[in-house]
């Protein structure tokens, strides 16, 4: 079912990639994605030290024998990160797939990727950047349209245009996403020429997602209208759930507030408190417009199996429209 260049490259059953999310992409959560037939991605930046990251990868190796990846975060951070330490752990454990994401390509890390024999996926915002990392040796690129949750980039291009534009421009396989919550979305992304589909928001509303049930219930009730864009004034635009914290951030930006005043609203510690304690207004929550299609809280295995069955049905339905 849906054998693609990405399933072959990554050694996975389904062409489904679980997007890495700060504070959320823990070993237990990520391993459930891999066990369900997709590719889970551990968010390395969640772990403040080499030792804590090593513990997480050790736990991953205990929980699944199937492929998984590690995200190396290249975005600016208040806490400086030495990504070479994370690569040391990746090498020690024989992890085979690395994903990078951020405002620039990881020039200083590429030689290590190649020496370690890693399959390198780079998440970028458009054609120019995809071509650059292809020339640098990336094995695949990921692009997500403007509908997505979290960082939206600065091009403001929707999925239906962005994905085929990048597919046409590069030779490496493309993973596409932005607003995908069901099998119809998966079939659509594949029909645009991508060989894999990345999902994030829909996976928040699963039994394994390590966030408080209050947050999950709020997300199930949300519609496609319940997201907003913040942090554009910081050159770091994010689509998030339209809660009190997001609205406060927008108000501060409109008043040209100082960065540290905005930071006190958007900082990761607030999000972690929200995920752990259940106060949906405590921090900002990356959330795409596809949340309006998430109406239940299945296990990840149930979700992936259902999505792929829906994708097959959707593709068959389109094929059935062809006149003989």
Question: Do both 203 and 246 map to the same domain?
Answer: no
Residues 147 and 196 in one domain: yes
Tell me how many degrees the CA angle 238-248-271 measures, rounded to the nearest 5: 60
Percent of residues, the chain, with pLDDT higher than 70: 98
CA dist 16 and 239 (Å) reads 22
Indicate if 190 and 232 belong to the same structural domain. no
What integer pLDDT is reported at residue 2 of this predicted model?
87
**Do residues 31 and 141 both lie within one domain?**
yes
User: In total, how many domains does the chain have?
Assistant: 2
| Residue 109 shares a structural domain with residue 244 | no
The reply to whether 287 falls in a domain is: no
Q: Decide if pLDDT at 79 tops 70.
A: no
- DSSP conformational letter for 304: H
CB atoms within 10 A of CB 317: 11
Pair 200, 267: CB distance under 8 Å: no
pTM for the model stands at: 0.95
Segments of the chain assigned E as strands:
16-18, 40-43, 68-73, 97-101, 119-123, 140-144, 150-151, 174-177, 196-199, 227-230, 238-241
d(CA 121, CA 116): 14
Distance of CA 257 to the CA centre of its chain: 29
Higher pLDDT, 75 or 203: 203
Same-domain pairing of 136 and 254: no
- Residues 20, 84: one domain? yes
The pLDDT of residue 303 is above 80: yes
The first and second tokens of residue 21, run together, are 């999310």
Q: Could you tell me the residue range of the domain that residue 245 belongs to? A: 213-277
Q: Are residues 221 and 185 in the same domain?
A: no
290 in a structural domain = no
Average confidence score pLDDT of the chain: 94
Q: Residue 100 pLDDT > 80, yes or no?
A: yes
Q: Residue 315 — pLDDT band, cuts 50, 70, 90?
A: very high
Q: Which two tokens stand for residue 33?
A: 């994605």
Across residues 289-307, what is the average pLDDT? 98
Q: What is the dihedral of CA 270, 18, 69, 285, to 10 degrees?
A: -10
> Does residue 258 sit in the same domain as residue 165?
no
pLDDT for 319 beyond 90: no
Task: Report whether pLDDT(78) > 60.
Answer: no
Residue 75: its pLDDT value, please? 76
Residues facing 143 on adjacent strands: 176
Q: What was the pLDDT predicted at 323?
A: 65
Chain centroid to CA 285: how far?
13
Residue 114 lies in a domain: yes
* Confidence band of 274 (pLDDT split at 50, 70, 90): very high
Same domain, 177 and 218: no
Same domain, 72 and 143: yes
Give me the pLDDT at residue 76, please: 66
49's CB contacts (< 8 A; 6+ apart) are none
SS3 30: helix
3-state secondary structure of 72: strand
Span 19-34, pLDDT tens digits: 999 889 999 999 999 9
Query: SS3 of 120, please?
Result: strand
User: Which of left, alpha, beta for 178 (phi over 0: left; psi -120 to 50: alpha)?
Assistant: left
Per the domain annotation, does 198 fall within a domain?
A: yes
- pLDDT tens, position by position, 124-159: 999 999 999 999 999 999 999 999 999 998 889 999
Indicate which CATH number applies to the domain containing 70: 3.20.20.70
Please state the rounded mean pLDDT for residues 67-78.
84
Tens of pLDDT along 177-217?
999 999 999 999 999 999 999 999 999 999 999 999 999 99
Examine the domain organization and report whether 83 and 132 are in the same domain: yes
Chain centroid to CA 157: how far?
17
Q: Has residue 77 got a pLDDT over 80?
A: no
77 vs 194: which has the higher pLDDT: 194
Angle at 156 between CA 195 and CA 233, to 5 degrees: 135
Q: Classify residue 289: in a domain, yes or no.
A: no
Alpha carbons 231 and 152: distance in angstroms, whole number:
10
């Amino acid at each position: 079912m849906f054998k693609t260049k990405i399933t072959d490259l990554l050694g996975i059953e389904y062409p489904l990639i679980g997007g890495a999310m700060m504070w959320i992409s823990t070993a237990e959560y990520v391993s459930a994605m891999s066990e369900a037939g997709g590719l889970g991605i551990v968010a390395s930046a969640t772990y403040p030290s080499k030792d804590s990251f090593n513990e997480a990868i050790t736990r991953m190796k205990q929980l699944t024998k199937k492929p998984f990846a590690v995200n190396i975060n290249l975005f600016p951070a208040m806490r400086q990160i030495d990504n070479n330490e994370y690569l040391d752990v990746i090498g020690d454990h024989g992890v085979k797939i690395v994903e990078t994401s951020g405002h620039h390509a990881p020039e200083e890390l590429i030689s290590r990727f190649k020496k370690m024999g890693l399959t390198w996926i780079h998440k970028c915002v458009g054609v120019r950047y995809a071509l650059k990392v292809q020339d640098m040796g990336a094995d695949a690129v990921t692009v997500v349209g403007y509908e997505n949750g979290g960082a939206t980039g600065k091009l403001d291009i929707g999925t239906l245009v962005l994905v085929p534009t990048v597919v046409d421009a590069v030779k490496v396989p493309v993973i596409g996403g932005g607003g995908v919550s069901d099998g119809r979305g998966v079939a659509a992304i594949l029909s645009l020429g991508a060989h894999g589909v990345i999902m994030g928001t829909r996976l928040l509303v699963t039994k394994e997602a390590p966030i408080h049930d209050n947050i999950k219930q709020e997300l199930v009730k949300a519609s496609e209208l319940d997201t907003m864009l913040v942090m554009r004034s910081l050159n770091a635009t994010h689509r998030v759930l339209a809660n009190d914290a997001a609205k406060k951030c927008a108000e501060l930006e409109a008043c040209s507030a100082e960065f540290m005043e905005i930071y006190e609203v958007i900082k990761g510690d607030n999000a972690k408190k929200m995920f752990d304690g259940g106060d949906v207004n405590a921090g900002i929550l990356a959330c795409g417009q596809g949340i309006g299609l998430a109406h239940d809280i299945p296990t990840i295995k149930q979700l992936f199996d259902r999505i792929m069955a829906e994708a097959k049905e959707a593709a068959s339905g389109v094929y059935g429209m062809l006149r003989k």
